[in-house]
Amino acid sequence: MDHQSRSGVCAKKRDRDRLIELAGRHPEYALGFQDEVWWSRVTQPTLQAWAEEGETLRLVEQAPAKDDPDPKALACYGLLVSCPAAPDTLPEQMWLRFVEKRPVSAMTTQFLDWCCAKLDNLGKTALIMIWDNASWHISKEVRTWIQTHNRTVKQQGRGVRIIAFYLPSKSPWLNRIEPHWVHGKRNIVEPARLLTAQEVAERVCAYYGCDLESHLAITERVV
């Protein structure tokens, strides 16, 4: 990383920290770190584990059968959310939604709408959301949706507006949700057999202590 790039990342970090401080002064604000991840049924994570002396625990990469109907990996949206100014109203927790196929703009807006509805029920009025600049975050569709959503909240005088902050490229250490993905993958690992897609989703939600919701999907219009 050259000097100019480092300076840009440092400036973004200062801006991010100011938003975190802002969330810490307003009990009606929620702070969220958003990201997506793939949960593989096949590839095993890198980890260390206890084993008998002289023996090595080996995680075997599993191969699905030809007639296996499940996908090899499941995509998942996540929000590490809390209320720093009033943690008793919203302690830090993970909110997850698995998706059919892969993350796209239409899935992103569904996830944001779902998060805002949950925060509205908790009495919050704003979500300071820190995320990266993935194409399905910075697309015209998503930016327009956020603008329209915030305008509607202002006009109606109720709801949760979104203050979106985009992190620079290749700076995962600025997103606090990233280590949670790593720990999750290590804790749901199955060394001896291939998990079904349903088992993967259930283990993930059990580890993070959240409900397994229906998968987000794009409904095709029937003409």
Is residue 185 situated within a structural domain? yes
The answer to whether 203 and 195 are in contact (CB under 8 A) is yes
CATH of the domain at 199: 3.30.420.10
Is residue 41 situated within a structural domain? yes
Structural domain count of the chain: 1
Is residue 118 situated within a structural domain? yes
Three-state DSSP class for residue 112: helix
Whether the CA torsion 10, 15, 20, 24 is positive or negative: it is positive
Tokens 């949950």, residue located: 118
The backbone torsions φ and ψ at residue 10, rounded to the nearest 5 degrees and listed phi first, read: -65, -40
Q: 141 CB contacts (<8 Å, ≥6 apart)?
A: 105, 106, 109
Q: 130 has which bridge partners? A: 33, 165
Element (H, E) at 190: none
**Nearest of 182, 187, 220 to residue 203 by alpha carbon:** 187
Alpha-carbon gap, residue 157 to 125, rounded angstroms: 10
Is residue 134 situated within a structural domain? yes
Is residue 175 situated within a structural domain? yes
Alpha-carbon gap, residue 36 to 73, rounded angstroms: 13
Is residue 51 situated within a structural domain? no
Is residue 54 situated within a structural domain? no
Per-residue pLDDT of the chain (223 residues; tens, 9 = 90+): 555 567 778 999 999 999 999 999 999 999 999 999 999 988 766 655 555 666 665 666 666 677 778 899 999 999 999 999 999 999 999 999 999 989 999 999 999 999 999 999 999 999 999 999 999 999 999 999 999 999 999 999 999 999 999 999 888 899 999 999 999 999 998 877 889 999 999 999 999 999 999 999 987 553 3
Q: Which domain holds residue 40?
A: 3-46+67-208
Is residue 215 situated within a structural domain? no
